[in-house]
Structure 1
Amino acid sequence: MNFISTRGDTPALGFSDAVATGLAPDGGLFLPETLPQFSSDELKALAGLDYPALCTAFFRRFATDIDEATFAAIVAKSYTSFTHPEIAPLVPLADNLQVLELFHGPTLAFKDFALQLLGNLYEHQCAARGQTINVLGATSGDTGAAAIHGLLGKPGTAIFILYPDGRVAPLQERQMTCTGADNVYTMAIEGSFDDAQTALKDIFADQTFRLHHRLSAVNSINLARVLAQCVYYLSAWLRLPTAQQENVEFVVPTGNFGNVLAGWMLQNMGVPIRGFKVATNQNDILYRLFTTGEYKVDQVAPSLAPSMDIQVASNFERFLYFALGRDPSRVREVMTTFKATGEYRFESFDRSTFSASRCSDAEIPGIIKSVYERFGYVADPHTACAFAAPDSDRHSVVLATAHPAKFPDTLRAAIGVDPRHPSLEALKSRPIVKHPVAASADAIRAFIEARAV
């Protein structure tokens, strides 16, 4: 299978090259040339597979340039560090409500599902091609830690992570800055995640620099991340009773749109999911989009759910490509307008598949308390946003995106519980190593130049 850019000015690439490239040279995002379709018989055949086998079977539609045995070994290695035997367990809370727990990986966040796999794909590519690779990412919290732990100590790799200084949870910062690994560089910038992401895209647009340093993207702009996230939706859907499969809505805390885009892409591959609810915090650009049709940047307001403190959702461009009839010229037009004005209004916008909810900081502690009192379930602040407005006429599966132990202050204030996890406790005695860097492409480029492998 080949992969094409949303903006249409990059030659189609195979899977491995699209993964290694990350952001398309024309500034667009890679997508499959066509979305494969799963028949009902094919879905039934997948139902009995464990998680690694299901992931391998799913990716056989996409990673056609890696032989099946090699890819199966890469996948198997990627999920050995998950602590729950089901990898992504479904936890029932009520007759019409379940939680899909996505925090049993090494950094206790849903990003591990994709980034453990991506790290092992990078390692395979370095060995197979005899080349080094430098990986660059920006994070609002969980992506950085998961990306770092996917590449810790891997030969031939260096990883550079940008994050907004003082705007991630303290334990999230420690997961990034206390690894002690020689191939990890965490860059603390002044400003917001959006500032970091803008600088990152500017660097990837510098083709001479990107090619010279074999630079690859680890954010969800990387195609492999979105595809890997499709698998946990498929795993959950296959485990639902038939009646629930036909009426399920996945409720997804999201800021950068990659998490919910993965489910939507799976739906468009023939898996009959009824719909998706986009759950935002007070940085509600996606809520405003799906309720008004207007995509308009506002100021980022630091929140109790910091991983969603985003105003420019980079994965929205992939959705836009499909919404505009797969017309790259229209995508270029819209993205040019959006970059110049910070807004775009859709004249006609199909919202039949998506609904949305918004949750302010003032509401999050109360929701955490309500969920705890009603179900005895401890939800982190991001997952709490997904409980803001459930639909009683649908079977809801809430995606629990992070372990509550990553946000102890909020949990103590809300329910008097002090959640702990041994991997986080071990970090508290380790020194923080971070590098203050200006949020400019030039400063970041110079930092990478001095340390790239």
Structure 2
Amino acid sequence: MDLLYSSTRNGEEKVTASKAILKGLADDGGLFVPESIPKLDVTIEELAKMSYQETAYAVMKLFFTDFTEEELKNCINKAYDSKFDTEEIAPLVEADGAYYLELFHGATIAFKDMALSILPHLLTTAAKKNQVNNEIVILTATSGDTGKAALAGFADVEGTKIVVFYPKDGVSPIQKQQMVTQKGDNTYVVGINGNFDQAQTGVKKMFSDKELAKELDAAGYQFSSANSINIGRFIPQITYYVYAYAKLYANGKIAKDEKINIVVPTGNFGNILSAFYAKNMGLPVAKLICASNENKVLYDFFETGKYDKNREFILTSSPSMDILISSNLERLIYWAAGNDAKKNVEFMTALTKEGVYEITPQMQEKLKDFYGNYASEEETAEAIRTLYEKTGYILDTHTAVASSVYGKYKAETKDDQTTTVIASTASPFKFSRSVMDAIDPKYDTMEEFELIDELSKIGNVKIPNAIEEIRNAPVRHKATCEVDEMPRVVKEFLGM
């Protein structure tokens, strides 16, 4: 029996995994969720012997049940290949009593590569399975990392075009340079005069615009998404938590069935939600520690049960987390409401209209697996400096938020015995100015690429190819627009 997916806003509509991947977002604006979370059907002893690719198949075959073994393995092998600069794809590094799961060894040196390397292959396979003749237009909003990872994944993939919107003044210089120098005749990058939430809302509006969908269809196009709202992007993220646990067991760091904590720096909530899914698949996880930066809407939600986006939007040194509308939280809310689509719609309507909703005490009780906290800009910088001085290991700004929050968790709960994995979501080279500034303000006078060379020297780490290739790359994408011009810009790019 195939595992089917339904919308968080309408439990009646059921689709296969391949159809959910193709659509990206449900017609009613909801997110696709599996009807149930399947249990892992391999033992920890078996997992301990598996490569990353084999682990990915063990996880994904349970969710993407309408893909054949050959189709799925083909997608996995094309995704997790030599574009990663380490053989194990996601190495674990021990530093100061925690295990940093390095998720940044892909083509664009951020964790988004882990899922966005496979999404184009899942999507093109899904299109063939469903006899789709339209060209697929990937429409994506980014707070910095998703954009480049999606562009790299979809560049020159036959039968696709990709449009990425990013906040013009809300990404790091390296993130921006990575996007605006992107090659590929099917790629288009646009800076908006606004923040990430506005970009994401604009993209979601286009997805639910029925008239626009008709116009696109007439011109031979249809939208899909590369954001973590797409299950083809969300599900593959479960793999790395299962892999990390298996590696800890294989290396004798944990006993069989021993529980671990997982700390995730998050804004859009997809990465930590995939850890929650891993736990529900049977992975022995104690606490899911949700780390926010100064845009601490998730911390406040876990503290109070109230989600309130009516607050100042703060630009921080961890821009991929500068988010006030955490899209993937909707999947958790739907689950906590007992998969009640009607109840979930009430919350989401309140969020759209008033910018705030409050869950029931019973729902809050169901979220006990989570611990939330946040790190200020000063605490983030301090986490980078302290760990470097202690161990020589250099964190990026997002991972530093997680490291700081883990420190707060230990101080608050006195739980310093549980083996803990911290998701290291980006390379420090991607945020070199903030990172070097945290280590020593004397670096502030250096130019961007001088900082990168110095970071390589003091950290004794090779500069990633992703940085070297943009050092002198020409800018190819110069377009900017207002938020309300986004549909026009897309139509122009498609020649409509």
* TM bucket, shorter chain: over 0.9
2:397 matches 1:397: no
Secondary structure of the residue aligned to 2:163 is: strand
Give the corresponding residue for 1:247.
Answer: 259
CA distance in 2, matches of 1:245, 1:192: 43
CA distance in 1, matches of 2:197, 2:257: 36
Structure 1 residue corresponding to 2:135, chosen from 132, 142, 146: 132
- Matched AA of 1:448: V
Kindly state the Cα deviation for residue 299 of structure 1 after the two structures are TM-superposed: 2.1
Give the corresponding residue for 2:88.
Answer: 86
Matched ranges for 1:355-374 at <5 A = 355-374=371-390
Equivalent residues of 1:357, 1:388 under 8 A apart: no
1:347 to 1:123, Cα distance in 2 relative to 1, 3 A: closer
Give the corresponding residue for 2:469.
Answer: 426
Structure 1 residue corresponding to 2:236, chosen from 209, 228, 231: 228
Kindly state the Cα deviation for residue 198 of structure 1 after the two structures are TM-superposed: 0.8
Give the corresponding residue for 1:437.
Answer: 481
**Greater shift in the superposed pair: 224-233 or 200-209:** 200-209
Structure 2 residue corresponding to 1:214, chosen from 219, 222, 234: 222
Matched ranges for 1:37-436 at <5 A = 37-38=39-40, 42-80=43-81, 81-94=83-96, 96-126=97-127, 129=131, 130-210=133-213, 212=217, 213-241=221-249, 242-243=254-255, 246-297=258-309, 298-348=311-361, 349-350=364-365, 351-390=367-406, 391=410, 392-416=416-440, 417-419=454-456, 420-432=463-475, 433-436=477-480
CA distance in 2, matches of 1:43, 1:295: 37
Q: Percent of counterpart pairs with the same letter?
A: 36
**Greater shift in the superposed pair: 341-350 or 22-31:** 341-350
1:179 to 1:273, Cα distance in 2 relative to 1, 3 A: same
- TM-score of the pair, normalised by structure 1: 0.95
Equivalent residues of 1:185, 1:434 under 8 A apart: no
Equivalent residues of 1:194, 1:311 under 8 A apart: yes
Kindly state the Cα deviation for residue 54 of structure 1 after the two structures are TM-superposed: 1.2
Kindly state the Cα deviation for residue 127 of structure 1 after the two structures are TM-superposed: 5.2
**Greater shift in the superposed pair: 369-378 or 307-316:** 369-378
Could you give the per-residue CA deviations for residues 98-135 of structure 1, whole angstroms, max 9, x where no partner exists?
Answer: 11000000000000011110012223345553442100
Equivalent residues of 1:102, 1:110 under 8 A apart: yes
Kindly state the Cα deviation for residue 365 of structure 1 after the two structures are TM-superposed: 1.6
Kindly state the Cα deviation for residue 9 of structure 1 after the two structures are TM-superposed: 5.9
CA distance in 2, matches of 1:154, 1:422: 21
Equivalent residues of 2:19, 2:126 under 8 A apart: no
**Greater shift in the superposed pair: 117-126 or 308-317:** 117-126
Equivalent residues of 1:134, 1:157 under 8 A apart: yes
Kindly state the Cα deviation for residue 49 of structure 1 after the two structures are TM-superposed: 1.3
1:244 to 1:68, Cα distance in 2 relative to 1, 3 A: closer
Q: Which runs of 5+ in 1 are unaligned?
A: none
Equivalent residues of 1:37, 1:270 under 8 A apart: yes
Could you give the per-residue CA deviations for residues 187-212 of structure 1, whole angstroms, max 9, x where no partner exists?
Answer: 11011100001111111111342362
CA distance in 2, matches of 1:434, 1:220: 26
Equivalent residues of 2:21, 2:126 under 8 A apart: no
Structure 2 residue corresponding to 1:35, chosen from 30, 34, 37: 37
RMSD: 1.7
CA distance in 2, matches of 1:55, 1:210: 34
CA distance in 2, matches of 1:444, 1:279: 31
Secondary structure of the residue aligned to 2:470 is: helix
Q: Which runs of 5+ in 2 are unaligned?
A: 411-415, 441-453, 457-462
Could you give the per-residue CA deviations for residues 359-418 of structure 1, whole angstroms, max 9, x where no partner exists?
Answer: 111222211000111222100000000111332132211110000001111122122552
CA distance in 1, matches of 2:425, 2:439: 19
Kindly state the Cα deviation for residue 35 of structure 1 after the two structures are TM-superposed: 1.1
- TM-score of the pair, normalised by structure 2: 0.87
